[in-house]
Amino acid sequence: MSSYPPSSPAQPTTLRQRLAGLRGPAVPPRPLDARALAALAANPGCGRRALLDGAGVDKNALATALGSPAAFGQSQFAIVRGNSFETKVKGDGGAELLRLVHAHLDPAAEPPGAGANVPDLAAAGPEGRAARTALALREATAAQAWTLLDHPMLALEVAGSPAYLEPDAVVVHPDGRWTVVEIKSFPMIDGAADAAKVGAAARQAAVYVLALEKTAGKLAGAEVGHTVLLVCPKDFSNLPTASPVDVRRERAVTRRQLDRLTRVEELAAALPEGLSFDPATRTAEELVEAVSAVDAAYAPECLAACELAFHCRDRARSAGAVTALGRSVRGELGALTTVEEALAAASGAGCAEDPTAAALHRAARLRAEALESAAGVVA
């Protein structure tokens, strides 16, 4: 009989430990921001991005280690210009920012005075800052006075994992309404800004609105406004101007898409033990194998929103996947998932009972007839 005491059963691995192992035990988690969440919501079928973002993996470092570095992002000049403009807008205790909110969104209320509240939101860690922000929102709502929250911290659960978000500002109105303020450095010329940039800002602001609604639901008299204020430089100057943006549609779409995301624990549980996305401890070949273990849903739109898009595009092209041609083409081809299958169907080798294959074959015949007719006319 052994003199050693019986060994205790192995303790189950928690989700936090599992995610730490995926990104590397010594690697701090990369926080999700509203821009990443908006991009994630735009492609909810991509388990690869959901897992990597949920685990806090640095996708830029991972893409570089895979040999397909991301080729997008703000220039250092744009970042400095944006920070300078934001500082100007929030100067003097946020007087100009509050004036813009009052003028565009709440002109019937008492104008904000010089002594508007700007609470200190400093705290330890994102959890502490989120708790401090919730307390400041509660106090401001009860005070029924203009209050400016500068870079508050909001919490939102995404695929079973908490995400901490930091909007530029949130303004509390005297009637208890909360307004998200987005400050951007792109110009607003003659009262209008670039539609694509405004759309991106609206999708980003919708994420903040969703996070605020979670807190507002616990406070009597609190209400989150679905019209956010976009603040930009006026014409070609550095003077701030503003425009209200209704984000109800973006909010509804983002909420629906985030609800469709597969939970992170389900994605992590399907992976083999020991798998890691840490570039510091894994070779390029091991990282390729690890990334391939998680299903992706590549589309050309990913090139403007995801750091791994170039790697996923190369894989989709090498596999001949029709996803590389775009979501609309993928949807039209139905069960035909590869370019080879689509070409075979067009040549008449596809299943005759498949309506998609039959339509492709007919289109190919019509094209061939049109080319023959055109050649005869030229001759």
pLDDT value of residue 13: 62
Q: What pLDDT does residue 5 have?
A: 43
Report the percent of the chain where pLDDT is more than 70: 94
267's CB contacts (< 8 A; 6+ apart) are 47, 50, 51, 54, 294
Interval 172-205: pLDDT, tens: 999 999 999 999 999 999 889 999 899 989 999 9
Span 256-282, average pLDDT: 87
Residue 160 has pLDDT above 80, yes or no: no
User: What is the average pLDDT across 135-153?
Assistant: 94
For position 207, what pLDDT does the model report? 93
Q: Is the pLDDT of residue 234 over 80?
A: yes
Between residues 117 and 10, the one the model is more confident about? 117
What residues have CB less than 8 Å from 213, skipping those under 6 apart?
224
Average of pLDDT values for 213-233? Answer: 93
Quote the mean pLDDT of the chain: 87
Binned at pLDDT 50, 70 and 90, residue 361 comes out as confident
Per-residue model confidence (pLDDT) at position 321 = 87
- Residue 10 above 50 pLDDT? no
Residue with tokens 């595009």: 313
The mean pLDDT of 256-263, rounded to a whole number, is 80
pLDDT for position 73: 60
Stretch 42-62: mean pLDDT: 89
Show the CA angle centred on residue 155, arms to residues 98 and 48, nearest 5°.
125
- As a whole number, mean pLDDT of residues 357-377 equals 83
The mean pLDDT value for 9-33 works out to 77
Average pLDDT for 42-52: 88
Q: What pLDDT, on a 0 to 100 scale, did the predictor assign at position 16?
A: 80
Q: pLDDT value at position 150?
A: 95
pLDDT of residue 379: 59
Q: What is the pLDDT of residues 73-124, one digit of tens each?
A: 666 777 888 889 999 999 888 999 999 999 999 999 999 987 789 999 999 9
Return the pLDDT at 81. Answer: 84
The pTM for the full model equals 0.74
Confidence of residue 29 (pLDDT cuts 50, 70, 90): confident
